[in-house]
């Protein structure tokens, strides 16, 4: 098992038990999971920023010559009466804003182009841009807006490919990053109901159970998965973390040791060894 293979989709959902491809690869025993709730302000969920406000702020940050370029392309969008012309103009705006490191604005225009193209590939690519950035957004209102944009784009992609579990997984991660975890859970449960051997969905549901203190549910779920996939290091590792969280360190260490048997990366094995020592 390589480091890239142990990454879970939507790492922000359960930092407690995710193996990272960079930095620390295993959790610290006292590490708390990141909350999946949307940013709150004064007890209320933050409203999404308006795109017009986001665009105005971005325009104030760019050089005059770049602003002129952007305004010229925007005129082409308004004047373009043929779909291909509008798509080209939106993509040109995406390229311009991306070169200026204005990721949210750039993603918006790529999303508009994707809606016109209406292909699974373009819709998914644009949605993933929003998903990637919202996980690092410092402004809660911007993060909420990005989540809404991503959800709409994933909806459109799923409509074109309703059996694509990867799209549903990605959309579930958006819901969990935007304060609607139960909608994300519903997506995941739908996936495992139809495809019980979807490892990422099963492990993510187990992670959620761990972060909410439902250790027995996580153990029950992963024990069943491990019976069908006895050589999956990710399943074994997260099952071990379920037992550790419950307080059964002996069983946890036994499973952590077992997970190493199916890991290809020597450095990853060393990280697991260090983690085992930290909980002994």
**Does the structure show a pLDDT above 60 at 121?**
yes
**Does the structure show a pLDDT above 90 at 261?**
yes
> Could you tell me the residue ranges of all domains in the chain?
196-279
Residue predicted with more confidence, 30 or 173 = 173
- Answer yes or no: CATH 3.40.50.2300 is held by domain 196-279: no
Give CB contacts under 8 A, 24+ apart, made by 93-97.
96/66, 96/69, 96/70, 97/58, 97/70
Comparing C-alpha atoms, which of 123, 222, 131, 125 is closest to residue 173? 131
Can you tell me the mean pLDDT for 79-85? Answer: 78
Can you tell me the mean pLDDT for 98-106? Answer: 97
The pTM of the full predicted model, rounded to 2 decimals, is 0.79
- What does the pLDDT look like over 152-185, one tens digit per residue? 999 999 999 999 999 999 999 999 888 888 999 9
């Amino acid at each position: 098992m390589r480091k890239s293979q142990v990454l879970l989709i939507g790492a922000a959902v359960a930092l407690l038990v995710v193996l990272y491809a960079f930095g620390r690869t295993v959790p610290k025993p006292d590490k708390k999971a990141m909350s999946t709730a949307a940013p709150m302000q004064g007890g209320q969920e933050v409203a999404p920023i308006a795109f017009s406000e986001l665009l105005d702020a971005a325009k104030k940050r760019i050089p005059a010559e770049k602003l002129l370029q952007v305004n010229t392309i925007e005129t082409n969008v308004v004047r373009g009466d043929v779909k291909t012309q509008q798509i080209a103009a939106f993509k040109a705006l995406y390229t311009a804003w991306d070169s200026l490191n204005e990721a949210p604005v750039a993603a918006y225009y790529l999303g508009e182009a994707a809606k016109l193209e209406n292909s699974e590939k373009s819709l998914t690519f644009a949605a993933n841009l929003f998903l990637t950035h919202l996980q690092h957004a410092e402004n809660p209102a911007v993060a909420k807006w990005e989540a809404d944009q991503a959800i709409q784009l994933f909806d459109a992609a799923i409509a074109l490919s309703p059996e694509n579990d990867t799209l549903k997984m990605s959309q579930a991660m958006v819901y969990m990053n935007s304060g609607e975890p139960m909608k994300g859970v519903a997506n995941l449960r739908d996936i495992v109901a139809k495809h019980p051997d979807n490892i990422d969905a099963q492990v993510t549901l187990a992670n959620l159970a761990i972060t909410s203190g439902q250790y027995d549910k996580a153990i029950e779920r992963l024990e069943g998965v491990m019976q069908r996939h006895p050589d999956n290091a990710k399943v074994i590792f997260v099952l071990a973390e379920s037992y550790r969280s419950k307080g059964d360190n002996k069983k946890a260490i036994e499973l952590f040791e077992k997970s190493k048997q199916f890991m290809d990366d020597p450095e990853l094995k060393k990280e697991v060894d260090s983690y085992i020592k930290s909980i002994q």
